[in-house]
Structure 1
Amino acid sequence: MTQNEILYSFNNFSTWIRSLENTNEKLWFAPIEEKKWSISEIIAHLFNWDRYLISEILPAVQIGNEINFPEYDTFNKRASDYIQSGVSKSKLIDETIATRNLLVKLLHEMTIERLNRRLTVNGVTNCPSTGAPYSLIYIIKEFADHDTHHKQQIMRFLSGSV
């Protein structure tokens, strides 16, 4: 995938998120599998990561600092906690789309050099699974793949619930 394709895919995800507005409330809050999150928790999870990218990762990249990701389980629990707080489906969808749109805007404002600059992530310069050097565009591609993974989970769940 080229940089433009990665950013397009990352941006286009908002359209799919918007399509979830008509999801039945019961399905919205039901676990997609036993001991798995609900659609609402998955969307909150994606929203939280986008917020983290905006508040922590992009500023670190701008000033050339190492990137640090938090401990995943603790961080990801915030998504479930947010849903348990009573946030509505429409509010979560609106927040998620607005945050993704802002993130994509900020990424488009970055220079190609900044997007491709090699990074150190949690003390490592290359992805342990692929060996590829870390860069912001590489990380965004990983997040786009992560989006696709969750989209497929949700689509399978919804297609089995019809």
Structure 2
Amino acid sequence: MADLDARRAVVLGNAERTIQRQIRTYIARKEFIELRQAAIYLQSNLQGILAWKLYEQLRSEAAAVKIGKNFRGYIARKCSLTARSSAITLQTGLRAMKARDEFRFRKQTKAAIIVQARVRQHIAHSYYRRLQKAAVVIQCGWRKRVARRELRKLKMAARETGALQERRTN
């Protein structure tokens, strides 16, 4: 009986150790799974927080980039409008200067045309006066010639008349 009790104690001791070992393994496994779950949960939350911080940083960087882009666009538009306004002012001034030069040229050309017309008119009038004087001189010469012929004829007639009268008186 003592032998059976000893064996029974050994078997119960072995069974007890096996049960304790399995319980300890179960408890250790349960704790390990809980720790692993807690670590996974903690890591997940930390990764979420890090992702949220990264998102916020990227969002602020994107906002800064967008603000910079909009500011550079504003500056570029402002410079473009200033350059355009300057170009328009310059073009207006150049066109006005060209118009004044063209007006001055036309005025000078008109004055030159008027002077040339007056000179041509004077030349034509002088030529006309010379032709008129020449015509008068030619007419006077012709009339003189005709008058001389007539005078000769009259003298001849007067001679003949005077000779007739002398003959009659004689």
TM-score if structure 1 supplies the norm length?
0.18
TM-score if structure 2 supplies the norm length?
0.17
Higher Rg of the two aligned structures: 2
